[in-house]
Amino acid sequence: MKLITLDTSTEACSCALYIDGEITTQSKIAPRQHTSLILPMLDTLLNNAGLKPNQLDAIAFGRGPGSFIGLRIACSVTQAVAFATNIPVISISSLATLAQVAYIQLQAKKVLTALDARMGEVYWGKYKVDAEGIMCCDGEELVSKPENVTIPPSNNWYGVGTGWNSYTEILVNQLKEKLDNYQGKIYPQADAMIPLALSALKTGNTVIAKDALPIYLRNNVVQKQK
């Protein structure tokens, strides 16, 4: 199995290559540099492995929610590769990837993800790990003001994502004793997408290139707050 993943949904730009259980990755925190970084990252990983894009079994990308421009970059690169090679595409939620990062790096099994959505709002979702080590959404992914984030019905939640940096006091106050800890400088990463992408492949949850589209959550993505 040969799979490549990429995510440009936040300040972090990352790409990862999976070959039969082995993962190589490139990642950089580089706001507004994703256009110049993501293709060289992809090319470097493939060249180092001696692979051509048409030798891949699938390509996965972070579909959002996240930065409007960042999501378009990942989507465009993914569509270009998929159209050229006729390989399937796996669309992965950026919030699910963020939760998977928390599970891999922090061993957090219940995660409240929150990405800064600007305009005084956050993209957020609740995730729990399943028996296969995959973070699954417990409910819906939403966009709202941080004070409207729903309090989970149980304890031992871990908060991750840039929303926890921007709205620390509000979110901590919302969860109170239900929150174990939080980290605001955790971003979606392409290597954490690998388990999610493999799970999607196993269940046939793929699309063709033209159907690989961003998910914004917010209807008017370019509206500025008055």
- DSSP assignment letter at 225: P
Give 34-46 pLDDT, tens digit per residue.
999 999 999 999 9
At residue 221, the pLDDT reads 42
CA gap 60, 7 in Å, rounded: 9
Amino acid at 192: A
Domain 2-93+189-211 has CATH 3.30.420.40: yes
Instruction: Compute the half-sphere exposure of residue 19: CA atoms within 13 Å on the CB side of its CA.
Output: 13
Beta bridge partners of 26: 15
Q: How confident is the model at residue 64 (pLDDT cuts 50, 70, 90)?
A: very high
Enter the tokens of residue 123: 């993209």
The confidence band for 108, taking pLDDT boundaries of 50, 70 and 90, is very high
pLDDT of residue 51: 97
Q: What is the mean pLDDT of the chain?
A: 94
Q: What is the pLDDT of residue 223?
A: 40
Q: How confident is the model at residue 222 (pLDDT cuts 50, 70, 90)?
A: very low
Summarised one tens digit per residue, pLDDT across range 182-199 is 999 999 999 999 999 999
Helix, strand and coil in the chain, % to nearest 5: 35, 30, 35
Instruction: Identify the pLDDT of residue 152.
Output: 83
Task: Note the pLDDT tens digit of each residue in 65-101.
Answer: 999 999 999 999 999 999 999 999 999 999 999 999 9
Q: Which of 37-41, 45-49, 150-154, 207-211 has the lowest mean pLDDT?
A: 150-154
Quick check: 220 pLDDT over 80?
A: no
Residue 153: its pLDDT value, please? 84
DSSP E strands, 8-133:
12-19, 22-29, 58-64, 89-93, 110-118, 121-129
- Rounded to whole angstroms, the Cα distance separating 166 from 178 reads 20
Q: What is the mean pLDDT of residues 143-171?
A: 95
Q: Domain locations in the chain?
A: 2-93+189-211, 95-183
- The whole-model pTM stands at 0.94
Say if strands 121-129 and 110-118 run parallel, antiparallel, or are unpaired.
antiparallel
pLDDT at position 224 is 40
d(CA 166, CA 171): 10
pLDDT band of 219, cuts 50, 70, 90? low
Q: Which fold has domain 95-183?
A: Nucleotidyltransferase; domain 5 (3.30.420)
Question: Is a pLDDT exceeding 90 seen at residue 118?
Answer: yes
What is the average per-residue pLDDT within 117-131? 97
What distance, in Å, lies between the first and last C-alpha atoms of the chain? 49
At 163, give phi and psi (nearest 5°): -60, -30
Please check whether the two domains, 2-93+189-211 and 95-183, share a CATH topology: yes
- Other Cβ atoms within 10 Å of 9 Cβ, number: 33
